Structure formats: C-alpha cells, structure tokens
A and B are shown apart, each in its own frame.
Chain A
Amino acid sequence: MFGKSTVTKAQEYSESIINTIREPLITLDQDLRVVTVSRSFYEVFKVNPKETVGQLIYDLGNKQWDIPKLRELLETILPQETTFENYEVEHDFATIGKRIMLLNARQIQRALGKERIILLAIEDITERREIEAGLEKTRKELEVIKKSADEASEFAESIINTVREPLISLNQDLRVVTVSRSFYEVFKVKPEETVGQLIFDLGNKQWDIPKLRELLETILPQKTTFDNYEVEHDFTTIGRRIMLLNARQIQRASGKERIILLAIEDITERREIENGLEKTRKELEATKIAEDDAREYAESMINTVREPLLVLDQSLRVVTASRSFYGVFKVNPKETVGQLIYDLGNKQWDIPQLRELLETILPRKATFDNYEVKHDFATIGRRIMLLNARQIQRALGKERIILLAIEDITERKEIEGGLVKAHVELEELAAELGRTARVKSEFLANMSHELRTPLNSINGFSEVLYDETFGPLNEKQKKYVNNVLTSGKHLLQLINQILDMAKVEAGKMKLSLSPLPMKGLLNEIALLVADMAARKRLEMLIDIAEDLPDIEADELRVKEIIYNLLSNAVKFTPEGGRIGMSAKRTGPEIEVVVWDTGVGIAPENMVKIFEGFFRVDTPYSRLTEGTGLGLPLARKMVELHGGKLDVESEGLDKGTTIRFTLPIRNGEGD
C-alpha cells in the first residue's frame, strides 16, 4: 500500500509495477473512468491507449466490458468493502472471445485530496481453469489407472512365472522382489542368491552395468517406463550378450510402494540373425542393383548386337536372348526364356557338340572361341554356326552366367567355299588360258604355213599368167586372173596380219632393230601411197621436219605401220579430200601424225577399232579392201618399240588423226 508522504514515489512505483507485471492492470477514478492502463492490458485485450484512457470502463473496446457482474462489483461491492478478491467473471469478449477472468480490486485513497482510485487486476484464467479441469480429469483417470495397475500388477506377478522371458520385479531400492523361473534358467542363478539382493549385486555383480544403473536410477524415476533399451554386456555366467530391457514402474495395489518390473530379453541371437538378415538384405539389394544395372547393360548390349546372343544360367537355362536370336531362329521369348538350351525350338539345339562345349569345355576353360557347329536346325535347316562363349561371374554372388554368341556363318562358309572353288577354277582357267594361248599361236603358225603354201601357188601362177610369161591372154582372161591375184594377195595380207597379232599376243614377236633413216623412209612410203591418193584425187600434204633424226627400229615393222596408216587415210577419205603426214622430233622421240579429212570415227567405236576385225563399211571403201587388223597391229608394233599410238576424231565425217611416237634410241634389244 502507498503512504501519503510518498505520493510521487508511490505513483511512480505503482506505474512501474503496472508496467512490469504481466497481469493486465487498470486504474479507475471514482467515476470509473480509466486513469492508467498496464502495457499488458493493451496486449491482452488488443486495444490501444487512445481508445482506453479517460473512457468509462464499461465503454472500453466497444462496450465489451459492460458486464453485469463487473458493474455489481464496482458499483455495489467495492464502495462497501474497498476491496474484492478472486471474482471470476466468465464473459464473451468482442476482441478475444469467451474468457474466464479473475478480478481483484482495491479501492485506494489518493495521496492528495479526497479522491479515490480503484486498482483493478484482471487475470485471464481461462487456460488455468482448463488446466485445472484437465488435472482433475487426469487425477480421476489416474485413479482408474491405479486400480487397473494394481490389478495388472497382480496379474503380472502371476504371469511372471509363466512367461519365457526373464522377468524380474524390483522394489524402490532396486532389490529383487520376484524373479521369473526363466530368469534363473537364463542367468544360471538360484532364488536364494537372488531374491532380496540389489540388482547390481546379482550373480557376482554381473548386472552392475552402467547403462542399467542409468536406466533404473535416472530415467525410470522420471519416466516411470522405458522401452527396448539395448544393453550389450559381458556376463560372467553367459558371456557377451545383448539384452533388451523393458521396464515399468508401477504402484503396488496394497500401498504407496512402487515396484519396478524389468523384462530382460536376450536378443543376442535375434540380433545376429537380424544383422545377418540385414546383411543378406543389403547384399541382396546390392546384388539386385548391380544385377539390375548389369542386366540392363547386358540386355541393352544383347539387343544391340546383330549377332544372336544367349545368356544362360549355370544350369544352362536361358536368362535372356537377344532380339536377333529370336529373329534368326524364328522363336519367341515365351518359348525361350527359362528353357534349357537343349530344349529350345523342339530340341533343335540338342547338339552333341554343343553339349560337349557347354558341359565339358566351358567349366574347365571358362571360355571357348570360334567353335564351328554344323547342324540341321528344325526351323532354319542345315546351318553352320560359329559359337563363342564366356562364362562370367555375376557382380555379387557366386552365380555364374554363360554368354553364348551364335553366328550363322553358313553363307560366309558358302562364300568362302565358293571363293576357294572360284580361285581353283581361276587357276585352272589361267593354266588353260596359257595352254590355249600356246595352242593358239602354234595353231596359227601351222595354219599360216598351211595357208601360205596353197596361196603361194594361187598368187604365183596367177601372177605368171597375168605377166603373160608363157603367152598372151585376152583382155577378159587377164582381168579375171588379176581378180584371182588381188583376192589372193588380200588373203595373204590377212594371214600375215593374223599371224603377227598372234605373235604379239603370245609375246613372240621379235623386233630386228637397225638404224632407220626416217626422213627417207617416210618419203619412200609417201611415194608408194601417192599413186593411190592421186587415183582418188586426194590432196596429200607431207610435212617432215628437216632435223628429223634417224631412229633405231625394226625397218619392216615401221614401214608396215606407216603404210597401214597412210593407206587407211586414203581408203577412208572421199574423193577430193585431203590426207597428210607430218613428222618431227619431240625430245627423245619422234612424233608422226597421219591425218585425213575422211569419215572419222564415231565416239562409240573408238575402243572397237583396236579390238581387231572391226571395219567400217563406207561408201568410199569396200569391205574386201581391209582386214580390220591394220590399226590394232600398228598400235601393237608402236608399243613394241616403246612408243604410243592414239587416235583422234571429232566424230563421223570429221576426219581422223593418228599420232604415234617412236623412241629415237630403243632400249629393247641391242
């Protein structure tokens, strides 16, 4: 209470109290208007000073304080009693809802003057009331529990001796009250050395376990119960064990004493089993993961390769088969996976050689490579399969799997066989060709001899007749005998050229090299042709370089070449056209060009003209005039000398240019 002398101090003090205490506090004047309000009041009732100070208490916060009971207290009781205590007011406040408020009030004289102020403490006891009600309820429930606990206790003691789990009940001092039969059995102790003993002293203090002490002395008094505490301890009688401890602290039915019921379960084996199980489970999981990974990997691989692939387990049953396996052997997964390999597709894989490989070789060698198995498969017929196998350890675990790659090499073998056969045939053919070439050149040599002999008579006699050596012929006789002679000479030329071609092709053509004065030789042949050209009224242009050197060559052959080319030019050029020949030195060679303005050569015939017997029937030449061998032979002869011969023509009726080279010094022969 406040003294009169210390008004200011008291006021300050009161205000400081007001602001310090957590309980909402309000001071009213005589008219019941608010003078001061504690900070907590504002907080609890969610109002602010402006709408509070100076207001009639009943008007505060939307008149939520206009409570009949409060009016009664402030207007009736307080003026009489100057104080009231612990008035409970239950009211539905607008701001904070239904609440139970405990009101305490003091009416006090102000230091100076007659004025009185009212100190009103408002305590929200809603929660306290709830807790109290809860406590009461709990107490009642507790009583029920106690009764049931007593019953349970009795029941418990009766079952203590029946349960297999060692059970021990201790009094508050942790001395043994009751022990289950199984306890004695498990811990190999006797009742006389157990009952009445401190638990920690039991069996040579083997129960003096720090953890148990902690449980019984610290945790249990606080919690009245503990569950599944694992204690690993080296017991003197039974060795290292893991015990699972469960305890209940219960009120004894008869009095205030509490007893502790301690169930001890030896979970050593269980733990071992559990650990084993967990380990197994983890291994299994790892295996499964590894297996899943590996399988996924393997399966993706298996399905990627084009080669049929089988994965077998140890018992030779199919684990997986590649897509290509199904494709090649025309089987489906349903009739394949899980089957013994030998049973696949109507036992078509029951091949003695495969059995040997899988059952005998593979276990020993863990691998086999490129075994060829020839077998008549039900679905695909007789095939040659190339087998490759690997026996591999599964990621985790002892299991082995067998990877079997099956490659159908039937076609490859056929091709190989075909190749070998073809090779042999080719060799035979080459030998045959060699023989044939020899026979051919021998035949041609013989033939030419045999043909020349009668031709010798034909040409010789017709020439003698034509020359009228033994007497004159009339005009017709002379003309006819000339026809015989012309045909005979053509036939002779044909025979000679065929023979030359045969000799070149047989590699038997020998050149007899000698120094050739080319300028003279070319002019000489040009003169021979000039007569022919003149008869067709062809203009012939000869352009031989002054410095054209002599060359080393076969005179007869070179003459043949030039004569052939020039006579061709005459033959294939229409009357009034032009032909020509030019020659010059080009480095180590001479180049001779024979050209004409004649029929030319169609592009499609550019190759044919060198194949032999190819002749163009033109209005300017008769078929009988040529052999078709002149140009091919000319090229052969040029090449035999180490030169080159090429034909140029812009097409039909565009003329032809033949260009050939001959080396000045011939490397061949001496």
Chain B
Amino acid sequence: MGEKALVIDDNDNNLTLERDLLEVAGFEVFTAENATSGIALARKELPDIIIMDMRLPDMRGSEAAKMLLQYEETRGIPIVFVTASVLAEGIEEIKTIPNAAFVSKPINTRTFASEIRQFIK
C-alpha cells in the first residue's frame, strides 16, 4: 500500500472527491467528518498526511491542528488545509502552525494528489 492520508471535511462531496483523487493516486485514505473523530482517527491510524478543512463543525481547523501537536504520535504529521477562505487571517492562522500548509479550494483535480504528496517528507 501507498501513503496513508487522513481527510477531515464535513462536506460529503468534497470528502468523496478528495478521497477519490487520492485513492486514484495510490493513497490509502481515511476520512472523518469532524475534528474530534478526525483527531481520534489520526492517533489510531497515524497517517502520513492529514488534509482538513479550515472550518469544521466542532472546532476550527487550526485548533484541531494544535490539539494534534499535543500528542506525541501525531505531532510530526504534516497537515494540509484545504480552504475556500482566502482571507488573510486564515493564512496567517496556518502560518503559526508547524508542519502546516494549504491548498486553496476549489482544488485542481489534476494536480491535487501530487500537491499533497509533496508535503510528505
């Protein structure tokens, strides 16, 4: 199997599209619809990369990232935020988080998987 990717998004369609694109590119994909279950899944599956929306139903993506930093097992996992919000605050928020990057939504389906792969060390 290829790299493990965890996608956290509350939008079913986006979750499906991203999972499809990553799976087509050879990723083993886990999905979660909120931060709490996503964090739990990350701690369980220890993915190579976590892809999450900036806005999640239970908390902000940046808050979820900080929580992941608190756990030894998840601290080193790179996080890619997929965001539709191009407001500066969102980007600034991401910059404060180590191992974090972002791709803007809507995603380019032809380049999405390779972009994600770049963030894996």
Contact = CB atoms under 8 A, between A and B. Distances in A.
Contact of A464 (B14, B21, B55, B85): B21
B17 A508 contact: no
Contacts of A201: none
B13 A457 contact: yes
A445 interface: yes
Nearest to A461: B17
B18 to A, nearest CB: 8
Contact of B17 (A452, A456, A510): A456
Nearest to A462: B109
Contacts of B84: 448-453, 456
A463 B110 contact: yes
B86 A456 contact: no
Contacts of B86: 448, 499
A499 B86 CA distance: 9
A467 B55 contact: no
Interface in A426-461: 445, 448-457, 459-461
Contact of B85 (A445, A461, A463, A470): A445
Given A449-B55, A452-B106, A455-B106, A460 B87 contact: no
A508 B87 contact: yes
B105 interface: yes
B107 A456 contact: yes
Contacts of B11: 453, 456-457
Contacts of A470: 20, 24
Contacts of B20: 464, 469-470
Contacts of B107: 456, 460
B88 A492 contact: no
Contacts of B55: 449
B21 A452 contact: no
Contacts of A508: 87-88
A190 B27 CA distance: 165
A457 B87 contact: no
A454 B12 CA distance: 10
A457 B84 CA distance: 12
A460 B17 contact: yes
Interface residues on B, range: 10 to 19
A452 B53 CA distance: 12
Contacts of A457: 11, 13-14, 17
A348 B107 CA distance: 83
Nearest to A446: B85
A448 B85 contact: yes
Contacts of A452: 84, 105-106
Contact of A456 (B85, B88, B106, B110): B106
Given A455-B106, A460-B107, A460-B109, A445 B14 contact: no
Contacts of A469: 20, 24, 109
Contacts of A449: 55, 84-85
Contact of A445 (B17, B24, B87, B105): B87
B110 A453 contact: no
Contact of B14 (A456, A463, A503): A456
A90 B56 CA distance: 164
A469 to B, nearest CB: 6
A508 to B, nearest CB: 7
Contacts of A455: 106
A456 B10 CA distance: 13
Contacts of A464: 17, 20-21, 109
Contact of A492 (B13, B17, B87, B106): B106
B86 to A, nearest CB: 7
Interface string A482-509: 0000000000100000010001000010
Contacts of B13: 454, 456-457, 461
B16 to A, nearest CB: 8
A18 B13 CA distance: 170
Contact of A510 (B21, B88, B110): B88
Nearest to B53: A453
A457 B106 CA distance: 8
A460 B21 CA distance: 9
Looking at A456, A464, A503, which has the most chain B CB atoms within 10 Å of its CB? A456
A464 B88 CA distance: 30
Nearest to B84: A452
Nearest to A510: B88
A390 to B, nearest CB: 68
A317 B114 CA distance: 103
Looking at B24, B86, B110, which has the most chain A CB atoms within 10 Å of its CB? B86
Contacts of A456: 11, 13-14, 17, 84, 105-107
Contacts of B109: 459-460, 463-464, 467, 469
Nearest to A457: B13
Nearest to A500: B86
Contacts of A450: 84
Contacts of A463: 109-110
Interface in B67-113: 84-88, 105-107, 109-110
Nearest to A508: B88
Contacts of B87: 445, 503, 508
Nearest to B54: A449
A456 B86 CA distance: 14
A453 B55 CA distance: 11
22 contacts: A445-B85, A445-B87, A448-B85, A448-B86, A451-B84, A452-B84, A452-B105, A453-B84, A456-B105, A457-B14, A457-B17, A459-B109, A460-B107, A460-B109, A463-B109, A464-B20, A464-B21, A469-B20, A470-B20, A470-B24, A503-B87, A508-B88
Given A456-B13, A459-B106, A460-B14, 15 more contacts: A448-B84, A452-B84, A452-B105, A453-B14, A456-B14, A457-B13, A460-B21, A460-B107, A463-B109, A464-B109, A467-B109, A470-B20, A492-B106, A508-B87, A510-B88
Interface of A: 445, 448-457, 459-461, 463-464, 467, 469-470, 492, 499, 503, 508, 510
Q: Which 8 A-B pairs have the closest CB atoms?
A: A452-B84, A456-B106, A457-B13, A463-B109, A460-B17, A449-B84, A456-B105, A449-B85
